[in-house]
Amino acid sequence: MHTFILLSALASGQPLPAPATFHSPAPLSAKGDVKAGPPLVHTFDLTNATAGTVTITKVEAGCGCLRQGLGSSTLQQGEKTKLALEVNTLAQPDGPNRWQVVVSYKVDTPGVPVQNGEVLLQITATLSREIAVNPPQVAFSTTGEASQKLVVTDTRAKPLTVLKAASSAAHLTVEVGPVANAAGRSQSVMVKLAANAPAGHRDETVVLFTDDADCPELRIPVRVLKRAAVAVIATPEAITLRLAAGQTEVSALVQLRSPDGKAVSVAGAESDLPRVQVKFSTGGGPVATVRITVPEAVAAQAGRCTVRVRLTEPSGAEVTIPVSWSSTKK
């Protein structure tokens, strides 16, 4: 704003014009009464009304039920983009609901320091439920194969039927069951995680395709935590020791168990730091023990080592135990 215009506005008592910003002309979308089941979709417009280049750095949703699709993330002066949001209403409670995302951005203007800002976008709706999937989302945490049953219910006069299903991953299969003709008609769907699914965490989706034109598909989020199978579990998995004043050594006990309850037998154990002492129980049993001792001469200064335990039962298994220590002695 020119200085003359600014002084004139101040002298006349007129409000100053709002500064040009990156914004949404309609940041709140009120959907009113909505039937839960089909996804709730809305697209927000975003406009760069600044004098510089806007870069969208992050779009953060306040709920895991929101899927998003952003157009261009870099906008020159005067350019626009769109942000599409899709709410999975199956996982939301009946009654008033509010969903929001925060769009973070930066503005690069020649001769001006970089400016950062945020735009808050919100969708509101009052949900009522006629179609339901129970549970509305699936979570697997396992070392092997696993399965979970979904039940689709529809209380409308003309209920839908699930015709087929698909998943976003090859190791996740879906089997659609027959329709039950009991009151509040229901249909079961079995979701199965294969034993050979790769280890790690991932978010997948199961899609149920129906014969209802108003609700052609139901999307169910699936969270998978596939843990690598281990022959022996160490408790604790890592050791942290502290040598206090008056102590000549510090030690800890580690218990070794097999997840399937089979016998555990230690063949040998040693530290990669020779002065750290390692003793272990002999013979086989449901629990084997390893005692790790750090003498005063070593524990007087902070350090770390690794203890490796070799097992005869389960045959060929090995457990690695990280050990660290510090001292409070003066």
Query: Is residue 47 within 8 Å of residue 80, measured between CB atoms?
Result: yes
Query: Is residue 216 within 8 Å of residue 205, measured between CB atoms?
Result: no
Q: CB atoms < 10 A from the CB of 87, how many? A: 25
What is the CATH number for 41? 2.60.40.10
- Looking at the DSSP assignment, which residues form a beta bridge with residue 124? 30, 98
Q: Does 183 have pLDDT greater than 90? A: no
Total number of domains constituting the chain: 3
Residues in the chain: 330
In terms of residue numbers, what domain contains 158? 133-226
70 with 164, same domain? Answer: no
pTM score? 0.61
| Residue finishing a domain among 129, 145, 176 | 129
Q: Calculate mean pLDDT across residues 296-315.
A: 88
In a domain, 158, yes or no: yes
- Looking at the DSSP assignment, which residues form a beta bridge with residue 203? 223
pLDDT-derived band at 24, boundaries 50, 70, 90: very high
Q: Is 88 helix (H, G, I), strand (E, B) or coil?
A: coil
| Phi, psi (degrees; rounded to nearest 5) at 113 | -60, 150
Q: Which two tokens stand for residue 70?
A: 């952003």
91 with 112, same domain? Answer: yes
Q: Does 184 have pLDDT greater than 50? A: yes
141 with 123, same domain? Answer: no
Please tell me the predicted confidence (pLDDT) of residue 2: 41
